[in-house]
Amino acid sequence: MGLPKDVGHEVQEGVGQAYYWTSGAGETEQTCATDRAGYSSGKVIVEWNAQAVTDKKKLTLTIQRYQSADNSNWDAAEVLQAATDVFTAATPVLAATGRYVFNQNFDGVKRYVRYGVTGVLNKGSVDTASYSLAILLGGSATLPTT
């Protein structure tokens, strides 16, 4: 079977997020919710950037998914990526970037999904980092109307 030439063919971006913080402030989970009605699968892309990290200190990321039938009452978190030290600074390398891609099969998953990222820098108040998360929905058997 030939594939569509257009990547946009029945592929839809959901609601994602971007976030920047300085260690010691705002290191809380940031979440974004998407209505996946009509879509049977997704790709969740997380880009991270340890922008300035003190020698021997690290950036840790945790990524979770929540689901809800009504966009109001959310189930307990499911861990996509347990707390992982994605970067540890070692002079002279005090910055780094990377990413995760999660393929999501929505069989048995409720209509609303929400993804959360928690980034932690284990340095007092001077290190900085950022991350962003995007959701690409696809696999609709017919073009969703919602």
- Write out the residues near other proteins by the rule CB under 8 A: 1-11, 13, 15-21, 39-43, 45, 47-49, 51, 97, 99, 101, 103-105, 128-134, 136-141
The alpha carbons of the chain give a radius of gyration, in whole angstroms, of 17
Residue 73 or 103: the one with the smaller Cβ distance to other proteins is 103
Residue 76 or 141: the one with the smaller Cβ distance to other proteins is 141
CB of 24 to other proteins, least distance (A): 15
- 68 exposure class (CB count in 10 Å sphere: 0-12, 13-18, 19+): middle
CB of 141 to other proteins, least distance (A): 6
Residue 49 or 67: the one with the smaller Cβ distance to other proteins is 49
CB of 13 to other proteins, least distance (A): 5
CB of 106 to other proteins, least distance (A): 9
Could you give phi then psi for residue 2, rounded to 5 degrees? Answer: -70, 145
